[in-house]
Structure 1
Amino acid sequence: MKKNSAEKNDKYNFLLYVPEIKHTDFSESDGIVTLYFKHDKPIEKFTSWLVKKSNISDLALDEQGSAVWLLMNGERNIYEIAMEMSKKFGDTKEVAIEKLITYSTYLSRKGWIHFKEVKALDPKEESNKEMN
């Protein structure tokens, strides 16, 4: 009975969500990710023609944003990515989790990523999490 209630709780634990990149038009150079966007709606085409600009724009992510983007491989859950970010940038676990939740929620709202499944933590990680 406990297993079923634990599985239900996992379904609503955002840290167990696995982010997967939907926006595939990007490049990585020296650890910095650049996203490319093609503006192909009629009004966007007309506007780009009117102001003599390209209909392709780009967005370069900062160092932390790029690191998160590259860690979102469709296999790691939010908790695992936050722990990697905590190690890499020297933040506390709580700060890394808070930043990552905010950032991944933003990316999801923009439609650049989606969450494919809930991935349970390994028993070792759960015991470490309870100890901290």
Structure 2
Amino acid sequence: MIQEMAMPMPTELVLHQQSRRLDIAFDDGARFSIPFELMRVCSPSAEVQGHGPGQEVLQTGKRHVNIVAVEPVGHYAVQPTFDDGHNSGIFTWTYLYQLGSQQAALWAQYEARLQAAGVTRDTPMPPKPGSACASH
């Protein structure tokens, strides 16, 4: 019988509106301070990740995004609501641990994608197809 490794569970989760960071501590002793911007641009939602490889949507203009609410999802995740209206990402404890422990690499990947697309972190997102702004 194969035994699965137990995923560390959070012992503390604090939102800091002023610094726009999520502080999270786990029962294995790990502690992370994750910027809301990183959570938003790496949201596990289909809106950001797409429905398959190569369908990711590069998120821009999220430097000052805030989290206005967080709802628990069972005993395994939270679902934040960002002040830009995004609320479809379900952040499992495993995913938050990954975001926290791999921040430097994730930022580097994000910055490389921005550069390749010829945009910056502060470039506004283009209007969504079908929105009122897209028809002008």
Name the TM-score class by shorter chain: under 0.3
Which one has more relative contact order, counting CA pairs under 8 Å at least 6 apart?
1
